[in-house]
Amino acid sequence: MGAPSVPADSLVPRPAEISTGAYDGLVLTPSTRIDADHAARGAELWLRTELGAATGLPLPRGDGQTAQIRLSVDRGAGLGSEGYRLIVDGEGALVVGHDPAGVFYGAQTLRQLLPPAAYRRAPLEPDGRWTLPSVRITDRPRFGWRGCMLDVGRHFMPKHDVLRFVDLLALHKLNVLHLHLTEDQGWRLEIKRYPRLTEVGAWRTESQVGAGSPAAFDGRPHGGFYTQDDIREIVAYAAARHITVVPEIDVPGHSQAAIAAYPELGEGEPVGVARHWGIIDNVLNVTDTTLEFYRNVFDEVLDLFPSTYICVGGDECPKEQWRRSQTAQRRIREEGLADEEELQSWFVRHFDGYLAERGRRLLGWDEILEGGLAPGATVMSWRGTEGGVAAARAGHDVVMCPTDTSYLDYRQSGDDGEPVPVGTVLTTEDVYAAEPVPAELSEQEARRVLGAQVNVWTEHMDTPRAVDYMVFPRLAAFAEAVWSPGRREYGGFLPRLEEHLRRLDALGVEYRPLSGPLPWQSRPGVAGRPR
């Protein structure tokens, strides 16, 4: 912890502009004070809490005269949305943000300028020396949507770990946590009007282990859900870190847990909450009562989540049950639809209208293009980039997350020792190199790309430790791809990443070491399905 501090070129994601200053830097002491204007108070509180814990320093509020660290918002400084300037000079440290988010990102960068021990919850040495090096940084994100989808349906992530995950996203300057709250294998959100969604739908008797054939099961119940107060807490905690929580209630496929709770939502025989992975034939029916049920569910979702974007899923909905269903076929005839694809569009469009009337916007996986895109839809392009290209050309906003560059459930190397290896190989370098904007888009079409996200599907991540392994350090590479401007060269990133891993060590993140899994991170004997 002695001076000088960590070199400024260890920052992740790399700032747009950085130069080293000519001063000695700012030594944090028991008399160091923070001053913040009203709009910057959130970042001030965050900085005091985090640095206070790590350093043991009180960092009390000062004023313009007495403070060594000053935080402010200045929309006239030309920094751009979420942008900031951070200067450490002979006067102290100054963070100016274009908006409160910009100040927060400046404060995040300020913390990265300190040694990795700044990421601990208590000081290692009572009298450690903490020096902010003299720098001048001007920074702003390349994209407005820098997201991560977390599937809490396949494996529930306890609230405590979700809050920790939010902190890890914020450390990487990401601003969207897309929570995939409902699945065939579990419904994770308390809905007051329909208590059986969690009484029945939030747990299963056992889980498939791995992706082998024939399927193996663990014989152990799994479950959990978030109360509405848990969600309010998560949403507020994320908002204080400038992260929007985008909820996903997946319809009309991936709904077996809901059907298990309320069989009248389904097309077939009563079913239990699914125990196995994969695409499941049981889907929602298209009756008026099912639409009403989900409008009632979304009414509660909208009360809980202030996000403009509300995700209705729309992915992987097999049409076999609808082909055999009298109510589905009647609906097709009555609405003058061509086929079951158009029936799915009709279903999605219903919720597009519902959301638009309430000032929200529908987000869905790229299957919602099939059978015609709902007028207000924003598309998540996951089955390659084609869906994103088509949607952008049709004048819709898109979020890019193609499997081969964005699916963090995919294996991190070609080695047999990777735990439950599925999908194609997606290394940290691959994630780093991936360009979010499809090359074939014109400049104007490319403006429809809001940004990108990585997706963390958790069939094979049965604990937060396993999530750590799959998400890190690939998330750090992704963060730079969506934040930093200019060319990306992995050779330049790697030394910074190695420094950054010391921060993750201090935080207790069980990332995949660059050399491969530690023995206890492997899963010998559990079959994957590599492609």
- The CB-of-365 to ligand ACM minimum distance in angstroms stands at 4
- The CB-of-382 to ligand ACM minimum distance in angstroms stands at 5
- The CB-of-316 to ligand ACM minimum distance in angstroms stands at 5
Using rule CB under 6 A, residue 386 touches ligand ACM: no
Counting residues that bind ligand ACM (by CB under 6 A) gives 4
Q: Where in 27-56 is the site for ligand ACM (CB under 6 A)?
A: none
Residue number, 210 or 387, with CB nearest to ligand ACM: 387
- The CB-of-517 to ligand ACM minimum distance in angstroms stands at 24
DSSP secondary structure letters along 165-201? HHHHHHHTT--EEEEE-EETTEE-B--TT-THHHHTT
Residue that is written with structure tokens 């990133």 in the block: 493
In the chain, count H helices and then E strands: 17, 24
Q: Where in 140-199 is the site for ligand ACM (CB under 6 A)?
A: none
Residue number, 422 or 479, with CB nearest to ligand ACM: 422
Residue number, 153 or 419, with CB nearest to ligand ACM: 153
Using rule CB under 6 A, residue 382 touches ligand ACM: yes
- The CB-of-211 to ligand ACM minimum distance in angstroms stands at 14
Q: Where in 348-377 is the site for ligand ACM (CB under 6 A)?
A: 365
Q: Where in 214-243 is the site for ligand ACM (CB under 6 A)?
A: none
Side-chain-side CA neighbours of residue 349 (13 Å): 15
Q: Is the peptide bond before 13 cis (omega within 30 degrees of 0)?
A: yes
- The CB-of-372 to ligand ACM minimum distance in angstroms stands at 19
Binder of ligand ACM out of 315, 341, 404, 499 (CB under 6 A) = 315
Residue in 426, 529, 527, 531 with CA at minimum distance from that of residue 471 = 426
Strand partners, 28: 130
Binding mask 473-492 for ligand ACM (x = CB under 6 A): --------------------
Residue number, 26 or 348, with CB nearest to ligand ACM: 348
Q: Which amino acid type is present at position 451? A: G
Residue number, 89 or 315, with CB nearest to ligand ACM: 315
- The CB-of-352 to ligand ACM minimum distance in angstroms stands at 18
Residue number, 304 or 368, with CB nearest to ligand ACM: 368
Residue nearest to ligand ACM (CB): 315
Q: What is the DSSP letter of 396?
A: -
- The CB-of-403 to ligand ACM minimum distance in angstroms stands at 7
Long-range contacts of 103-106 (CB under 8 A, 24+ apart): 103/36, 103/39, 103/40, 103/42, 103/43, 103/71, 103/72, 103/73, 104/42, 104/43, 104/46, 104/170, 104/241, 104/242, 105/139, 105/141, 105/173, 105/242, 106/43, 106/71, 106/137, 106/139
Please give the Cα distance from 95 to 72 (Å, whole number): 6
DSSP secondary structure letters along 289-353? HHHHHHHHHHHHHHHH---SEEEEE--S---HHHHH-HHHHHHHHHTT-SSHHHHHHHHHHHHHH
Binder of ligand ACM out of 24, 37, 300, 316 (CB under 6 A) = 316
Which residues contact ligand ACM (rule: CB under 6 A)? Answer: 315-316, 365, 382
